[in-house]
Structure 1
Amino acid sequence: MDSDEFKKRLGKRIKKLRLAAGLTQEDMDEGDFAVHFRTIQEIENGRTNPNVNTLFRISKRLKVKPKDLFDI
């Protein structure tokens, strides 16, 4: 797997977890550990390489362990 494929799979995993939590991309932009909805769009579409801080905030917002984001 190359880095582009990894970003796509990571994005799909995050989207799956977000939908399972019943959250929209806009919901991710609210509350503690908010991540701007456009950032979520870019990550879910595999167009950006999220940094560790962003991944940490996403995991907290989704109420999952950070390692769960990488179950791809």
Structure 2
Amino acid sequence: MTELGDKLPIGSYQSLGITGCACLVIPELNVVAARMYNQTKPNPAGYDYLADIKTFGNMVYHYARHL
């Protein structure tokens, strides 16, 4: 299992922080994207962090490749 979105090209990687922040690197596009969440309380009931972080990566890739 991976936290990377299924649309990201091979070689992409990300670093996740304890407060919900993420730094995604897509070398193929020379792109670095940061997401700041800065959460201090537990996730709400039903929140799927893994699905959310995968969606973030897929969205970054989708829009960055059209720049």
TM range (shorter): under 0.3
Structure 1 or 2: more strand by fraction: 2
Using structure 2 for the length normalisation, give the TM-score. Answer: 0.28
